[in-house]
Amino acid sequence: MTTTRETDFLVYDRTVGMTVMEGRGFYYPVDTVVGREDRLYVISRSKEETTRGIRVTVCDLESGYHGNFGGYGFDGGQFVWPSCGAVDSQGRFFISDERLHRVTAYDAAGKYLFHWGQEGSGERELDTPSGLAFDSRDNLYVSDTYNNRIQKFTADGQFLVSIGGEGEDAVSLPWGLATDGQDNLYSADFGNDFVKKFSSDGELLGSFGGPGRGDGQFTRPASVAVDGEGYIYVADWGNERVQVLDSDGNFVTKLRGESTLSEWAANFLSINQEEAAARATANLEMEIDYAVDDPHEESSHIEKYFWCPSSVKLDSRGYLYVTETNRHRIQVYRRIR
C-alpha cells in the first residue's frame, strides 16, 4: 500500500519487531543501525524506571533473529540509558549512553571491545551524548546534546574538532546525525526544529526546516538520514511523521505510517488465540473527535500510524527503516522512483 500517493516516491514494504522485554523483539526501541550485510542492530532502552529490557537486538529485514547483547549496568559493555548507534568500516558497533556520558564499542557479534568518554563541558568531555555517525575515514561525530554542540573524534576517542558555535552555526540539543558521500554532516537539531548541514570541518552549508506542522517544517526532529542522491529523510518526532527533502531542503513527501502485522507478531498471535480473537474484533482505525489538536493523540489511537518515530536509517539497497519507540517496531519503506 502506497503512503505517498501524491509523489509515488516511497511505498510501505513491511514491519519488523514486536513488544517483548527479553529475547526476540524490542522494548521501547530508540534507534536501528544497519551493519554489514544489512544486519540490523536495534537499541531498546526500556522505560526510565525499568532496567529490564535494555539491550541491543540483532535481526534482519527478513525477521531473522540473531541474538542480543549489552544490558543494564555500569561495567564495560553495559549501558544505563542507551540512545543511538553507528557502525564503522570494520563492522564494529558503537553505542552512546546518555547517563554514563560515554561511547562503547563492540565487534560485529556484540563482544565488548572498549569505551571512552566522561561527563563535562570541556574539550573531549560529553554531556548526554546521543547521535553518532561515522565519516569515510572512520572519524566519529557525536551529538554532545546538553552541551549544544557536535564533537568529532577518532573511533578510539581522540578529539578532532567541535561543531556548533554562535548565531547561524549554533545547534540546540542536537540529536540524530548522518553523513553523506562527501563527508558532509547533517544534524537533527531537536531544540530548534531544523536540520543543519555542515562540512567536515564544521562550516555551515545549509539549514532546512523550521518550527511548525506544515510541509518541510519540523517539531522536535530526532533523526536524519541521507541517500546517495542527496535526499534527506527526517524523523519529525513531534509531528509523528517522516518527511523527505531534496538536497536543497525542498519538501518532497511525508509519511504517517502504514504498518501491518510483523512476522514475529503474527506468529505470536497464532499461538495466543485469545489475544488474536480480541484483536480480530478491535477497531484499529477508529474515528475520534480529539479534544486536543496534537498529532500525538491521533497516532496513539491508530495502530498503523507512527507513534514516536525516533530514528530513520537506510540500508545498502535503499530501504528506509523507521523506528517507533512507543509501538516497539520498525516500519520499512522502499523507493519506487
3 domain residue, yes or no = no
Of 131, 134, 139, the closest CA to residue 149 belongs to: 131
Residue 1: what pLDDT? 31
89 domain residue, yes or no = yes
What's the gap between Cα 25 and its chain centre?
Answer: 17
Residue 48: what pLDDT? 85
Q: Which CA distances in Å does 319 have to 12, 73, 226, 295? A: 10, 33, 12, 25
17 domain residue, yes or no = yes
5 domain residue, yes or no = no
Q: Number of structural domains, the chain?
A: 1
27 domain residue, yes or no = yes
193 domain residue, yes or no = yes
Residue 97: what pLDDT? 98
217 domain residue, yes or no = yes
Helices 273-280, 263-271: axis angle to 10 degrees equals: 110
Q: Which CA distances in Å does 45 have to 31, 247, 333? A: 9, 33, 24
Cβ atoms within 10 Å of 192's Cβ, excluding its own: 19
127 domain residue, yes or no = yes
Which residue type is seen at 87?
V
Characterise 7 by phi-psi region: left (phi > 0), alpha (psi -120 to 50), beta (else).
alpha
pLDDT digits (tens, 9 = 90+) for 251-300: 999 999 999 999 999 998 899 988 888 888 887 777 878 878 889 999 98
Residue 6: what pLDDT? 41
Q: What is the pLDDT of the chain when averaged over all its residues? A: 94
Residue range of the domain that includes 284: 10-335
Element (H, E) at 263: helix 263-271
Quick check: 177 and 224 in contact, CB under 8 A?
yes
pLDDT beneath 50: ranges in the chain: 1-6
CATH of the domain at 322: 2.120.10.30
Residue 54: what pLDDT? 97
